[in-house]
């Protein structure tokens, strides 16, 4: 008997072990510096992150949700305003709009699982202030089309880039495609730290200044408060770890793209697999396959083969309990609702071994060939 192959959905500890001595060095040097809030490592990471995303400014914040919230605040988006985003996303994309007092306007997604630009166009009213495309699964949303729509109506594009750091559209990095972008450094994201963290990018000098004030109590300096603010900073220690990981990010993303390529080549006979359109460079935060009614059965079978899978996301935002007061109903967003029933995310991360990848492929093959 050979030992069964296990393929967990993530393996965060492995990445830590692979670079442990570097992390320990940062831990020691920041620990000894005694400078744990707004320390040098934060500025250093912000400079590197701005370079990486090919933008003028990067601002570390407490988490990806705060990144969205602070962008809205800095842009003055609030009560009386409408913000349009996708019905298929992580819930933070939605609640941050609600949290600033704006009206959350949801629209359907396209085959790329990203916001459908034509649906966006149809949802615009005189009160619309911003469009929030989510680069879901690490795949860039169609910014060309959205930019054309936004320009014509004088709207902001705010990227929810929480799942997609490193991805490109028309050769340009996500984070540089709108007025500002929000990234998450949550451990499960492509660039994850060892706790919560977030990042905002922008090319706008005024927005950069406002966000820097807002994240730190509105303080201009130690004693003078310019505006009412928040406490939402990225810890110096986490920034130090993020800077180390940033060096490897392009390599890790390439590795995920290779795994995606391999999955695609071997699985497209059985299920619909994601691919890069000509102007896209996706980083495959998730590898989402679309199957049919057999989805739950497939997931059950893969579990029995030691393979962990997830659904991103099983309950569309408009059908969540929290969204009841928005007045949406089942049937409003057919693509989103269809995908919720028939998509599955396969394990994909740089630390996967070829044995594990092959086990995923052969198990899915076995499932479809026997049924
Ligand atoms: C993770 C995520 C967020 C929120 O980030 P946190 O750091 O967990 O607050 C927002 N939007 C999307 C699409 C995400 O995946």
317: Cβ below 6 Å to ligand 1?
no
| Angstrom distance (rounded) from CA 152 to CA 150 | 6
Q: SS3 for 55-70, per residue?
A: CCEEEEECCHHHHHHH
Pairing relation of β-strands 103-107 and 172-173? unpaired
| Angstrom distance (rounded) from CA 358 to CA 106 | 38
Q: Following DSSP, what letter does each residue of 42-97 receive, concatenated?
A: HHHHHHHHHHHHTSSEEEEES-HHHHHHHHHHHTT--TT-EEEEESSS-THHHHHH
Are the C-beta atoms of 309 and 297 separated by less than 8 Å? no
Pocket residue to mutate for ligand 1, from 62, 71, 90, most atoms within 8 A of Cβ: 90
202: Cβ below 6 Å to ligand 1?
no
Q: How far is the CA of 95 from the centre of ligand 1 (A)?
A: 11
Report the atom number in ligand 1 closest to the C-alpha of 93: 11
User: What's the whole-model pTM score?
Assistant: 0.97
Are the C-beta atoms of 61 and 200 separated by less than 8 Å? yes
Q: State the pLDDT at residue 261.
A: 98
Orientation angle between helical segments 295-304 and 354-370, nearest 10 degrees = 130
Pocket residue to mutate for ligand 1, from 132, 160, 180, 215, most atoms within 8 A of Cβ: 160
| Angstrom distance (rounded) from CA 320 to CA 179 | 29
Q: State the pLDDT at residue 1.
A: 58
Q: State the pLDDT at residue 245.
A: 98
Contacts of residue 326, Cβ cutoff 8 Å, sequence gap at least 6: 104, 106, 318
69: Cβ below 6 Å to ligand 1?
no
Q: State the pLDDT at residue 3.
A: 82
Contacts of residue 38, Cβ cutoff 8 Å, sequence gap at least 6: 216, 233, 236
Encoded tokens for 260: 């995606």
Contacts of residue 241, Cβ cutoff 8 Å, sequence gap at least 6: 23, 26, 193, 194
State residue 310 phi and psi, 5-degree precision: -140, 170
Per-residue pLDDT of the chain (371 residues; tens, 9 = 90+): 578 999 999 999 999 999 999 999 999 999 999 999 999 999 999 999 999 999 999 999 999 999 999 999 999 999 999 999 999 999 999 999 999 999 999 999 999 999 999 999 999 999 999 999 999 999 999 999 999 999 999 999 999 999 999 999 999 999 999 999 999 999 999 999 999 999 999 999 999 999 999 999 999 999 999 999 999 999 999 999 999 999 999 999 999 999 999 999 999 999 999 999 999 999 999 999 999 999 999 999 999 999 999 999 999 999 999 999 999 999 999 999 999 999 999 999 999 999 999 999 999 999 999 87
């Amino acid at each position: 008997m050979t030992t069964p192959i296990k393929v967990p959905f993530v393996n965060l500890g492995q990445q830590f072990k692979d670079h442990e001595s570097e992390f320990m060095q940062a831990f020691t040097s920041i620990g000894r510096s005694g400078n744990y809030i707004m320390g040098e490592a934060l500025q250093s990471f912000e400079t590197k992150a701005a370079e990486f995303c090919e933008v003028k400014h990067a601002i570390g914040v407490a988490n990806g949700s705060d990144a969205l919230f602070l962008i809205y605040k800095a842009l003055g988006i609030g009560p009386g305003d409408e913000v349009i985003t996708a019905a298929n996303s992580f819930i933070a994309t939605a609640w941050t709009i609600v949290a600033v007092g704006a009206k959350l306007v949801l629209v359907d997604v396209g085959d790329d699982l990203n916001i459908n630009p034509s649906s966006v166009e149809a949802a615009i009213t005189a009160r619309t202030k911003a469009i929030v495309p989510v680069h879901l699964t690490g795949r860039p949303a169609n910014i060309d089309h959205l930019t054309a729509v936004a320009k014509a109506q004088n709207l902001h594009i705010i990227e929810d880039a929480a799942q997609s750091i490193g991805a490109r559209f028309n050769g340009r990095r996500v984070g540089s495609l709108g007025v500002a972008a929000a990234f998450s450094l949550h451990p499960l994201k492509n660039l994850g730290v060892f706790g919560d963290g977030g990042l905002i990018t922008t090319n706008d000098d005024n927005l950069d200044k406002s966000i820097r004030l807002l994240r730190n109590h509105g303080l201009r300096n130690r004693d003078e408060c310019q505006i009412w603010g928040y406490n939402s900073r990225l810890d110096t220690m986490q920034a130090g770890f993020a800077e180390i990981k940033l060096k490897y990010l392009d390599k890790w993303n390439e590795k995920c793209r290779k795994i995606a390529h391999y999955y695609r080549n071997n699985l497209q006979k059985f299920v619909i697999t994601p691919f890069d359109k000509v102007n896209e460079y996706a980083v495959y935060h998730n590898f989402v396959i679309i199957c049919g009614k057999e989805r739950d059965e497939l997931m059950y079978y893969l579990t029995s083969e030691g393979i962990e899978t997830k659904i991103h996301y099983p309950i569309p935002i408009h059908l969540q309990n929290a969204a009841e007061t928005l007045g949406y109903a089942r049937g409003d967003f057919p693509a989103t609702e269809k995908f919720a029933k028939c998509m599955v995310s396969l394990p994909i991360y740089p630390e996967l071994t070829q044995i594990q990848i092959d086990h995923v492929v052969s198990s899915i093959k076995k499932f479809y060939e026997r049924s």
